[in-house]
Amino acid sequence: MTVAVIGANGSIGRLLLDQLDDTDYEAVGVVRSADQFDAIRERGAGPRLGDLEGEFASALDGADAVVFTAGAGGATGWDKTLMVDLWGARRTVDVCEEKGIDRYVMISATGAADPDTGWEPLRPYLVAKRAADDYLQDSDLDETVLRPTTLTDEPGTGTVESAFDPSDGDDIPRADVAAAVVACLDDDATIGHRIELYAGDTPVVEAVQPPP
Cβ distance 182 to 23 under 8 Å? yes
Rounded Cα distance between 2 and 91, Å, is: 20
End-to-end, the C-alpha distance of the chain in Å comes to: 28
Active site residue 198: no
CB atoms < 10 A from the CB of 155, how many? 10
Cβ distance 147 to 69 under 8 Å? no
Cβ distance 151 to 174 under 8 Å? yes
State the catalytic residue, choosing from 25, 104, 125, 135: 125
CA torsion 101-136-180-126 (nearest 10°) is 150
Cβ distance 110 to 147 under 8 Å? yes
Cβ distance 183 to 162 under 8 Å? no
Residue type, 62: G
Cβ distance 99 to 113 under 8 Å? no
- Where in the sequence numbering do the catalytic residues fall? 125
